[in-house]
Amino acid sequence: MTRQELVSNIKSKSSFLCVGLDTDLSKIPAHILSSDDPVFEFNKMVIDATSDLCVAYKPNLAFYESRGPSGWKSLEKTMDYIPDDIFTIADAKRGDIGNTSKMYAKTFFEYFNFDAVTVAPYMGEDSVTPFLEFDQKWVILLGLTSNEGSTDFQMLKTSTGMTLYESVIVQSQKWGNPGNLMYVIGATHPQLFSEVRQLAKEYFFLVPGVGAQGGDLEAVVKNGKNDDMGLLINSSREIIYAGDTPDFQNAIRQKALTIQGEMSKYF
């Protein structure tokens, strides 16, 4: 998907919502467990309830890989079911030497046909650029993450005087551009959003941490928005586990509708 197509979808839906498909068999409604493929059946119902309200879906690969071949099959069926005009993100956090990265890229971009994949930058340029060689595909580089341990390394000062996460954002712009590179910037760091935006004015940010992790939507938009919105706000547990009764689909839709309604105020 091109940047223009993504921006157009954001504007037409008045939404920058990304729904995380972190599907856990221990948390989905019990009556679905008897289906042939409960993970796909649950995902299908989430997609049916939210596809007109969101602009992206983000399957977390750990929830599929942990189930072996059946999990990969559930993921493949899920990808086939997602409408073509919705941006898809493989939340895989891969990061390895060049040849291995190339194979990871082929897996997600060619076999599964994801639009984007999350990538860890720790090993440097040659671990990231193989993902950037695919036309109309995106790297979403880990920048400033939302977890508690993010301060262990990401906030350390480097020899340039910048923090490590700032160095990642500045240096990586030499590898990609605003049409194929995004950054993960956690909503749990709202006080830093305006500074990060100054470092990457035209780039999109994938923003986890709103909702269940305590991040504030208004603060993120106020400090992180650019002319194209430039934000994909991810919500996983808050939406997909909004209900566990047989009519859970309605609860999912209402939660997504509430979030999209809040987002629409910024257009």
- Say if residue 99 is exposed, middle or buried (CB neighbours under 10 Å; 0-12, 13-18, 19+): exposed
pLDDT in tens, 34-79: 999 999 999 999 999 999 999 999 999 999 999 999 999 999 999 9
**Looking at residues 21-29, what average pLDDT do you find?**
95
pLDDT at 258: 95
- Exactly one of 11, 44, 73, 93 is catalytic; name it: 93
Q: Report how far residue 39's alpha carbon sits from residue 154's, in angstroms, rounded to the nearest whole number.
A: 34
Annotation says 13 is catalytic: no
Please determine, for residue 209, whether its predicted confidence score (pLDDT) is greater than 90: no
* pLDDT class of 212 with cuts at 50, 70, 90: low
- C-alpha dihedral over 144, 147, 152, 154, to 10 degrees? -10
The domains of the chain, with CATH numbers, are 3-264 (3.20.20.70)
* pLDDT interval class at 215 (50, 70, 90): low
The pTM of this model reads 0.95
